[in-house]
């Protein structure tokens, strides 16, 4: 048996920093929406379409990238994808035409579609026997980027207007250069590349479990993307200032990042399925607690709800990779991409509900969804915990 390769912590740190910036960009458009709505009287449905254009293009392309990356990794995708997304999003505040804005959003999504399967596979390859914990850390940095987005972008747009988007390309250039010089050098990240027939056979053999996992992720993604899209508009309708609203979104997302790290530790110790089921079922009453209370208690409920919703974020990726272990990039693409894209597509429906029945009704629908995802997660397989596998290997 060949010795376990040492864990490359410094490289994981750089990839995690890049993930933080990528996901900060991924939460870029929702921060623009209140300002766009105020300037152009955009409907909730059209606002949701704009966010969905980014989500759909970034998501449905990821499994395609994942399939080809399982055959041969392409390290350049991480730095080119990051720079591409930064450039496309930096132009969004400069255009006046709605269709052109949707086009830029869709093009920007291709950048994150290129980054995520390659970067997540790099993480799993260089993480030794600590895959769930270190992938959780990688994902947590992304969630921190999501959380920082409203804190950084809302004051920028409020003080300098939407034309200030052009300056947001600068961190993208910096991080792209870091990735160019310090990302893992090898293009090939696995053993022998699977053929298409082997991939199809692998998917068929695990289809029941993958269906459960992707369904869970799609519903969780709908909740997550829906909240990112609707909550700023809901807070605006409740007469909260843009800064106060951004702080509440930050609380939810930052707590989600912490929950993601804790979820990785818990799942390594007690199993993927118990963590996924319990955290999602718990999220629904916590979200309702947020709307039914006031003051500090309301904020506590929001923080706990965010942590509960996102604690399974990286765990579902690892669960899919364990279901089809010879196609890790494809698994990452299916979970972080395709399933998330389905959720992103359905956000348009939530926007329509908001237009027809009010934003409060749309929010209530979103709060109910996690418990439905938790029930579906009951159909996932029980697998040995990472802790038990380490003990058995001794």
Q: What is the Cα–Cα distance from 353 to 64, expressed in whole angstroms?
A: 32
pLDDT greater at residue 277 or residue 317: 277
**Contact assessment for residue 327 and residue 202, using Cβ atoms and an 8 Å cutoff:** yes
**Contact assessment for residue 307 and residue 259, using Cβ atoms and an 8 Å cutoff:** yes
Please report whether residue 251 resides in a domain.
yes
How confident is the model at residue 326, as a pLDDT?
Answer: 66
Q: What is the Cα–Cα distance from 227 to 305, expressed in whole angstroms?
A: 12
Most confident of 95-109, 137-151, 229-243, 328-342: 95-109
How confident is the model at residue 17, as a pLDDT?
Answer: 96
pLDDT at 242 over 60: yes
Please report whether residue 4 resides in a domain.
no
* Environment class of 318 (CB within 10 Å of its CB; exposed 0-12, middle 13-18, buried 19+): buried
How confident is the model at residue 336, as a pLDDT?
Answer: 66
Question: How would DSSP label each residue in 12-77?
Answer: HHHHHHHHHHHHHHHTHHHHHHHHHHHHH---HHHHHHHHHHHHHHHHHTHHHHHHHHHHS--THH
pLDDT at 41 over 70: yes
- φ/ψ of residue 127, rounded to 5: -100, 5
332 confidence band (pLDDT: 50, 70, 90): low
State pTM to two decimals: 0.76
How confident is the model at residue 333, as a pLDDT?
Answer: 66
207 confidence band (pLDDT: 50, 70, 90): confident
Q: Which of 7-16, 183-192, 269-278 has the lowest mean pLDDT?
A: 183-192
Please report whether residue 186 resides in a domain.
yes
What's the rounded mean pLDDT across residues 282-309?
95
Mark out the alpha helices in the chain (DSSP H runs).
9-26, 28-40, 44-60, 62-71, 76-90, 98-125, 131-160, 169-182, 196-205, 207-237, 242-270, 272-292, 295-310, 313-323, 328-333, 339-357, 359-377, 386-393
How confident is the model at residue 186, as a pLDDT?
Answer: 62
**How many residues appear in the chain?**
394
| Residues near 5 by beta carbon (within 8 Å), at least 6 away in sequence | 126, 128
What's the rounded mean pLDDT across residues 185-210?
64
Please report whether residue 72 resides in a domain.
yes
| Structural domain span for residue 45 | 9-393
**Where do we find the tokens 């392409």?**
74
Percentage of residues in the chain with pLDDT exceeding 70?
Answer: 84
Please report whether residue 80 resides in a domain.
yes
Read off the pLDDT of residues 75-131 as tens digits, 9 standing for 90 and up. Answer: 888 999 999 999 999 999 999 899 999 999 999 999 998 898 788 878 878 877 777
Q: What is the Cα–Cα distance from 165 to 89, expressed in whole angstroms?
A: 7
332-335 long-range Cβ contacts below 8 angstroms, 24+ apart: 332/62, 332/66, 332/116, 332/117, 332/120, 332/121, 333/62, 333/63, 333/64, 333/65, 333/66, 333/67, 333/69, 333/116, 333/117, 334/62, 334/63, 334/66, 334/210, 334/214, 335/213, 335/214, 335/217
162 confidence band (pLDDT: 50, 70, 90): very high
Please report whether residue 65 resides in a domain.
yes
| Residues near 51 by beta carbon (within 8 Å), at least 6 away in sequence | 29, 30, 33, 105, 225, 228, 229, 344, 347
Please report whether residue 160 resides in a domain.
yes
Q: What is the Cα–Cα distance from 207 to 200, expressed in whole angstroms?
A: 10
How confident is the model at residue 124, as a pLDDT?
Answer: 78
How confident is the model at residue 188, as a pLDDT?
Answer: 45
Q: What is the CATH number of the domain that holds 15?
A: 1.20.1250.20
How confident is the model at residue 317, as a pLDDT?
Answer: 81
Among the listed residues 282, 259, 262, 281, the one whose alpha carbon sits nearest the alpha carbon of residue 270: 262
Please report whether residue 3 resides in a domain.
no
Q: What is the mean pLDDT of the chain?
A: 85
Q: What is the Cα–Cα distance from 393 to 391, expressed in whole angstroms?
A: 5
Q: Considering its fold, how many domains does the chain have in total?
A: 1
Q: Which of 226-230, 263-267, 385-389 has the lowest mean pLDDT?
A: 385-389
Q: What is the Cα–Cα distance from 227 to 191, expressed in whole angstroms?
A: 40
- φ/ψ of residue 126, rounded to 5: -100, 15
pLDDT at 170 over 50: yes
């Amino acid at each position: 048996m060949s010795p376990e390769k040492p864990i490359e912590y410094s490289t994981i740190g750089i990839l995690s920093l890049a993930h933080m910036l990528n996901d900060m960009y991924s939460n870029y458009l929702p921060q623009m929406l209140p300002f766009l709505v105020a300037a152009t009287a955009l409907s909730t449905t059209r606002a949701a379409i704009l966010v969905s254009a980014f989500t759909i293009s970034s998501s449905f392309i990821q499994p395609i990238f994942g399939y080809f990356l399982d055959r041969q990794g392409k390290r350049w995708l991480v730095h080119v994808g990051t720079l591409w997304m930064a450039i496309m999003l930096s132009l969004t505040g400069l255009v006046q035409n709605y269709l052109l804005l949707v086009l830029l959003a869709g093009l920007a999504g291709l950048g994150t579609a290129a980054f995520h399967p390659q970067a997540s596979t790099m993480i799993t390859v260089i993480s030794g026997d600590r895959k769930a914990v270190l992938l959780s850390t990688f994902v947590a940095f992304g969630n921190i980027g999501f959380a920082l987005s409203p804190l950084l972008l809302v004051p920028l747009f409020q003080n300098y207007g939407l034309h200030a988007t052009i300056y947001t390309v600068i961190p993208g250039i910096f991080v792209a250069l870091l990735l160019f010089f310090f990302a893992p050098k090898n293009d090939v990240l696995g053993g022998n590349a699977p053929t298409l027939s082997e991939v199809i056979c692998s998917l068929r053999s695990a289809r029941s479990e993958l269906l459960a996992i992707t369904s869970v992720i799609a519903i969780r993604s709908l909740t997550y993307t829906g909240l990112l899209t609707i909550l700023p508009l809901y807070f605006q309708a409740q007469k909260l200032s843009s800064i106060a609203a951004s702080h509440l979104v930050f609380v939810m997302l930052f707590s989600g990042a912490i929950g993601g790290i804790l979820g990785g530790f818990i799942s390594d110790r007690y199993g993927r399925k118990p963590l996924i089921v319990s955290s999602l079922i718990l999220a629904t009453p916590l979200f309702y607690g947020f709307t039914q209370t006031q003051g500090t208690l309301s904020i506590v409920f929001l923080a706990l709800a965010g942590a509960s919703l996102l604690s399974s974020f990286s765990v579902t990726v690892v669960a899919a990779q364990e279901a089809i272990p010879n196609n890790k990039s494809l698994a990452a693409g299916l979970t972080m991409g395709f399933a998330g894209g389905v959720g992103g597509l359905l956000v348009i429906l939530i926007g329509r509900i908001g237009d027809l029945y009010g934003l409060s009704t749309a929010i209530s629908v979103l709060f109910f969804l996690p418990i439905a995802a938790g029930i579906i997660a009951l159909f996932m397989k029980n697998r040995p915990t990472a802790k038990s596998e380490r003990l058995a290997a001794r």
